[in-house]
Amino acid sequence: MYSANSPCERLKDIGVIFVQPLYEQNIGYIARCMKNFCLSELLLVKPRCSLGVESIRYAMHGADVIEKARVVDSFEEAIKEFDLVACTTGVKGSGVLRRYLSPREAAEIIAGSTGRRAIVIGREDWGLTNEELSLCDLVVTIEANPDYPSLNASHAAVIVFYEIFNALVRVPKPRVERPRREEVEKLLEYIDLLGLELGYNDARREKAKLIVRRLVAETMFSALELRVMLGFFGDSLRKIKNCGERAHAQEA
């Protein structure tokens, strides 16, 4: 049993999502790394390998993580129960989709927030799709040799786990009450509806929603601040709708 303020107690609300793992030994290695840093919840999205003796052997003392692991059918299903999702990727970018943080920067946000949080490890062979990245609140990239920047999934994972564990040691208690996932999704729905009213096409609306998703996560919007924004956008959309209905009535 851990004390209320210990890193291990606070890490119980942080899960690890491994997307379509290809090698059983990597599942085992990641479970072992999770055990090293007090992480216990592992979700596997449509594994492309078995989950058996080999993964448990490589997990060593993290075998209990394997035994409790849950298998889910889709990325969307895996992330829906988490309020903040940080995805790891080896592909850097400057646009909003792949704008990235270092593991330490992301760890500070994760440690400073309440709620259910998740770290996503992408496929060993080709990472995460653009669609999956667009659903992530934070994107994390590890700086490495430019001539050979790709890390093994478990090696990348342990760097991120280490930074989160140490950030929780440095931050005595969460600074921000994170908005719940459903509240963030409601705000994005309002952004989409406002874009429709303004005549924006699908691509422009999707970009606006992604920018807002990342802004909420990276600037550590609190639940209270987001609820103020929800009220503002909700009232604005109702006002626009009422004005439109009055205009139609006058034309009739």
- Domain extent listing, the chain: 7-170, 181-251
249: pLDDT strictly greater than 70: no
Which pLDDT score, from 0 to 100, does residue 173 have?
A: 75
pLDDT-derived band at 213 (thresholds 50, 70, 90) equals very high
Exposed e or buried b per residue across 81-120, where buried means at least 16 C-beta atoms within 10 angstroms of its C-beta: ebbbbbbbbeeeeeeebebbbebeebbbbbbbbbbbbbbb
- Each residue of 86-133: pLDDT tens digit? 999 888 777 888 889 999 999 999 999 999 999 999 999 999 999 999
Say which CATH class 7-170 falls into. alpha beta
150, two tokens: 């790709």
**CA 141/CA 14 separation, integer angstroms:** 19
Determine if residue 117 is left, alpha or beta; phi over 0 gives left, psi from -120 to 50 gives alpha, anything else beta.
beta
49: pLDDT strictly greater than 70: yes
Which pLDDT score, from 0 to 100, does residue 5 have?
A: 61
pTM over 0.95: no
pLDDT-derived band at 252 (thresholds 50, 70, 90) equals low
Which pLDDT score, from 0 to 100, does residue 90 have?
A: 83
- Each residue of 167-197: pLDDT tens digit? 988 876 777 899 999 999 999 999 999 999 9
Average pLDDT, the chain: 91
Which pLDDT score, from 0 to 100, does residue 94 have?
A: 72
